[in-house]
Structure formats: structure tokens, C-alpha cells
Structure 1
Amino acid sequence: MLLTDTHTHQYYEKDLDKRAAQMQRCFDNGVKRLFLPNVDLASIAMIDEMVKTYPENCFAMAGLHPCDVKDNYQEILAEIYQCIAGRAIYAIGEIGIDLYWDKTTLPIQKEAFKQQIEWAKQLDLPFVIHCREAFDEVFEILEEQRHEKMRGIFHCFTGDLVQAKRAIDLGFYLGIGGVITYKKAGLDLVLADVPIANVVLETDSPYLAPVPFRGKPNESSYLVHVAQKVADIYGMSIEEVAEITTENSKKIFGI
């Protein structure tokens, strides 16, 4: 069984022994492909270290997280963009809009989002969207920036069925993580009406740990619990879910 975690910040674990143990648990659970979203300047080096240590398993993205879009965002974006050259980057991300923490930065979040979508277009890369309490704003920009090569993932998708279908129509896959295992989330009812051909799996480690680890630090090895829940929803084996969602990830990232 080969599982792909399309969104993990596993690199946040700085203790190398603990990180090695986490990675071994990944391999033991069949999680052998990990895609690492960038969030700011500091995370670039952390991601590069993971990729260097696990070149067959870890794959880098480049982008500025919407919560890190501050007044100096243009300067930060310029530095991140310069770091793309000479590195193997498989997506622009994570990028988008977050109105949960700070609504006052919406204008500059929008501009940063648009600029990074343009990177993806120029580089012919997918992009990974962070959308929190901002579906209307994100969809407005995607419609405005829409082009024939637009593609990527709605990371940590928690929307309704209408939003799911709209995301898919725009060329995006739904990133399904630990929230799918939460009884009151209702995401299982949405997913039941979405073809698995439009789904990829993720953990968003160290956040949003699935049941039975909810409330504890997440890690990529726990993806197996997400996969099992998805298998239950679709009436498939976990092996089938792993195969289909991994193939979906290959279509997105090209690897």
C-alpha cells in the first residue's frame, strides 16, 4: 500500500531523532510520499533539509501562507520567488486567504494570492489553497484569474457540496484530512457525493489530528486513519483508496 500525504508540515519537528521515528512510522504505515507546503522564509531551509534527508519521499512547495502576509509582503514574496530557482518545486503553496485570524489584512492577502497564482501560471505548476472562512473571496479570485492550466488542491477542504463542486469545476482536487473523522463536522456527508477521482489525502501535520488522536499533535503516519475513514465512506478497501488518491496526487504534482 502506497499512501500520499499531499500536505504536511512534518518539518516542524526539529528533534532529528523524533523526526526519524516519525518518518519510520510513516513508512511502516505505507505513507511514503510527503508534500511539504512552504509558509514563510524560515520554512524554506527546514523543507530543504527534509528533502535532502528523504529525497525519495519528501517533495517541496514554495509560497507565502496568508496568515504571514504582512505589510512587507512584497519583499518576502520576492525572496521566496528567488528561492525557487535551482530547487525542485512541485507546487506553489500554501497560498490563499484566511479571515479567521485577521480580516484587516484582506486587501494585501488578495494581492499576495493573485501574485502567487501568477507564479503558478508562469511556471506551469499547481497551487495549493489555504481557505479559512473565505470561500467567497477565494472563488472570486479564482474566477478572475482562471486559465486553461489552472489546477491544484483545496487544502483542508471543509466546505459544503456546492463549494466542493465549484472547486472541482475550477480544476481543483479536495484535500481531505483529519476533519473527515470528526463526528460533528459533516464532511463525510459532503464527500459521499463527491467522486473519489477528485480527492486527495492529507494530514496538515502537526495540526488537525484524526480520531483517535484528536487534540494531540498530528503526524503524517496518521494518514492511515484518514484513508480508512474515506474507505468507509466510499465502500472501498483502504488499499483501493490509497491507490486512487496517490494516482490523483501524481496527476496534480507530476511526480
Structure 2
Amino acid sequence: MIDTHSHIYLPQFRDDLKDVLDRASESGVKSILMPAIDFDSLARMDELSHPRIEFRKMAGIHPCDVGKSLSGKLAGQDGFEDKLHKLAASPDIIAVGETGLDYYWSDEHVSAQRRSFRQHCSVAKALNKPVVIHNRNSTADMLDIIEDEQDGRLYGVWHCFNGTPEEGRRALDSGLYLGIGGVITFKNAGVDRVVADLPLDKLLLETDAPYLAPVPKRGKRNEPSYMRYTARKLAGVKNAGFDDIDRITTNNAQTLFRLDEAG
């Protein structure tokens, strides 16, 4: 299995990181893809190692962190896009993000979030790398921007998908895959019902660790080994075997992120 969205480098794992990674390996996780929150994330990612797990890095600024700077350039401001392009152009960076919009925590910097999101999309297109999208309470604007930026070159993933069937199909039509995490196991979230009607060849497995742990671990710190609960739920939703879900979502991740080509 490939955990396509995990913040395993965050301080929440500092005290027991080896045990967390051992459990991930034992549960069948072979690769962990790490979206950045800010540019300090990359140095922490470089500290990770495990004999049986491959780590892959992304570069970007989370929408809740648009006020943080790279060499004095704030996300959403002039000059930031060039800085991001130079960083994301590195062969060991497999994607641009995470970026996107978040109107839940704050609506004070909406214009800066939108501009930053467009800058990330521009860099992703220029580098022919996928864009990894965070979306919270901002679906209409997020999809509008993706459709506006789509010129045949934009592709990526709507991480932590929790939209309606119509929003899901609109995202797929716009060149996005859908990241399926622990929310699919939440009883009243409704994600399972939506995902049942969406194509399996466009779905990815993820944890968003340390956040959004699936049932039966809901409310606890999430970790990559818990992805097996999400995979089992998805198998039930799709009336498929666990091994089929593992194989298909792994292939989807390899295709989207071009893992066989990445440096």
C-alpha cells in the first residue's frame, strides 16, 4: 500500500517514530508520500529513514500558512511563484502541495489563499507534476479555480475527498484523482455512499496522519498503519477484495505521481 498523504515528519511522531514506521511496514505500507505544510517541512522530511519504507517529498504552502515566507516571499505575493518553482523543480519533489483553500479556520486571507492556489497550479503545470489540493468549506471556489486553470496540463488529487457525487464527478472531469482517507469510515459523513458510485481507478488511499484517524481509531493520533482500516472500508463499499483495493490504489498512486520516474 501507498499512503499518498501523510505528515509523518511532524512533532506528533517525534517520540515513537521508529515504532510508528515499523507498524506501518508490518501493515503493508511500502511508501509514504509527504505533502509540505510550509518550506520548513522539507528539512524535517529529509531526516526520515526506514529500511522497508520509501519516503517521497512534495513542496508547497498549506492554505492556512499563506502568511509564511520563502526567502522573504509570501505565498500569494509577487515573487513567490518563482521561489516555489525553483524548489519544486528538484527531481526528488514528486508533487506541488499541499495547496488549496481553507475557509473553515479563517476567512481573513481568502484572496491570498486563492492567489497562492493559482500559483501552485501554475508551477505544477510548468513542471508537469501533480498538484495536491486541500479543501475545507471551499469546494465551489476550489473547483472553479481548477476548471479555470485547466489548460490540458493540470492534474492532481483532491486530498481528503468529502464532496457530493456531483462535485466528485466534476473533479474527475477536471483532471483530479480523489484521496480517500479515514472520513470514509465515519458513520454520518456519507463519503462511503458517494464513493460507491465513483470509479475505483481514480481513487487513492491516504491517512493525513496525524489527523482524521479512521474508525476504530477515531479520535486518536492517526498513523500510516491505520490505512488498512480505510482500505477495508473501501473494499466493502466497492464489493472488492482487500488485495484488489491494495493493487488498484497502489497502481493509481504510481500513475498519478509517476513514482517509477521520480528521482
Deviations 1:116-152 (A, max 9, x none): 1110011000111001010111111111111212111
Match of 2:253 among 243, 249, 252: 249
Do the aligned residues in 1 keep the contact of 2:32 with 2:53 (CA within 8 Å)?
no
Instruction: Measure, in 1, the Cα distance between the counterparts of 2:46 and 2:116.
Output: 23
| CA displacement at 1:41 relative to structure 2 | 2.0
Normalised TM-score (structure 1): 0.93
Residues 41 and 76 in structure 1, CA contact (< 8 A), matched pair in contact too: no
8 Å Cα contact 1:41/1:80 also seen in 2: no
**After alignment, is 140-149 or 175-184 more displaced?**
140-149
Between the aligned partners of 1:213 and 1:88, the Cα distance in structure 2 is 33
SS at 1:102 equivalent: coil
Q: Is the 8 A contact 2:39 2:59 kept in 1?
A: no
More divergent stretch after superposition (161-170 vs 87-96): 87-96
Count of residues in Structure 1 that have an aligned counterpart in Structure 2: 252
What is the distance in 2 between the residues matched to 1:55 and 1:236? 27
- Which runs of no fewer than 5 residues in structure 1 stay unpaired? none
Q: CA 1:98–1:210 in 2, change beyond 3 Å: closer, same or farther?
A: same
**Cα shift at 1:76:** 6.2
Match of 2:213 in 1: 209
Q: Which amino acid aligns with 1:44?
A: L
Give a deviation string over 1:65-124, Cα, whole Å, max 9, x none: 000012833476655444335451111010000000111211010110111111001100
Which residue in the other structure is 1:151 paired with? 155
Q: 1:171 to 1:157 in 2, by over 3 A?
A: same
Q: 1:80 and 1:15, CA in 2 relative to 1: closer, same or farther beyond 3 A?
A: same
Name the SS for the 2:189 alignment partner. coil
Q: Does 1:101 align with 2:99?
A: no
Change (3 A) 1:40 1:54: farther
Q: Name the aligned partner's letter for residue 6 of structure 1.
A: T
**1:59 is matched by which residue type in structure 2?**
R
Instruction: Give the letter for the 2:135 counterpart.
Output: C
Q: Residue 63 of structure 1 corresponds to which residue in structure 2? A: 60
- 1:124 match: 128
Structure 2 residue 202 is the aligned partner of structure 1 residue 198: yes
How far apart are the structure 2 equivalents of 1:15 and 1:158?
26
TM-score after normalising by structure 2: 0.90
Shift of 1:169: 0.4
CA root-mean-square deviation = 1.8
Q: Does 1:161 align with 2:159?
A: no
Tell me which protein shows more helix as a share of its residues.
Answer: 1
* Paired-residue identity, %: 39
Q: CA deviation at 1:29?
A: 0.5
The alignment status of 1:113 with 2:117, answered yes or no, reads yes
Could you say what secondary structure the match of 2:97 adopts? strand
List aligned pairs for 1:175-190, cutoff 5 A: 175-190=179-194
Query: Does structure 2 conserve the Cα–Cα contact (< 8 Å) formed by 1:126 and 1:152?
Result: yes
Contact 1:64 1:77 in 2 (8 A): no
